[in-house]
Amino acid sequence: MRESNGRWTQVARAREKQWTPRLEARFLATLAACCNVKRACAEVGLSQASAYNHRTRWPDFAERWRTAVEHGYDRLSIEMAASAGRMLGDEELTADAVLEPISFDQALQALWLHKARVAGLGRAYQPARREVTIEEVRRRVMAVVELQERAMRAEAAAAERRARRRKPARADGG
């Protein structure tokens, strides 16, 4: 490719598994359709960690992500309301009724997960913490203590080997 000054310029292609404007657009379109990061990542063939890292590094992408989730949330809300209306009418609606491209249950879960961020309802989702028993705490503490003791014994043994390797200084100076 020639520039305006007549010199040749090399145009680099994006590597495989690298975010490009085209991949971003496909990811955001899928995210807006289903509000599901895992599904959107599968659509573009990249990992969830890659998506979250990309969002952290690029504020513009983060803003477009937020907008896509808002649009997806609104769309799912409207479709859920329409489904409820159909359920009250003559048409029967089952729990596995499909709201393209996800099921009714998945749409309901997506709405619940994003309600705090998009609609300002309740608190943000946090996975439930399981109760830890005192026996588990003791076992974990004892494992850490054992590791520390083992490290101290290894350090003492290494110091002793270093001390044995040193030659003692002779008293006669020679």
21-34 helix and 37-44 helix, angle to the nearest 10 degrees: 140
- Over residues 7-46, the pLDDT tens digits come to 777 666 556 678 899 999 999 999 988 888 998 999 999 9
Task: Please state whether the predicted TM-score (pTM) of the whole model is above 0.85.
Answer: no
3-state DSSP assignment of residue 75: helix
Quick one: 56 and 139 in the same domain?
Answer: no
Q: Is residue 126 part of a domain?
A: no
Which DSSP string do the residues of 12-47 spell out, in sequence order?
Answer: PPPPTT---HHHHHHHHHHHHHH--HHHHHHHHT--
Contact by Cβ (8 Å): 32, 75:
yes
Residue 51: count of CB within 10 angstroms of its CB: 22
Quick one: 113 and 147 in the same domain?
Answer: no
The boundaries of the domain holding residue 49 are 21-119
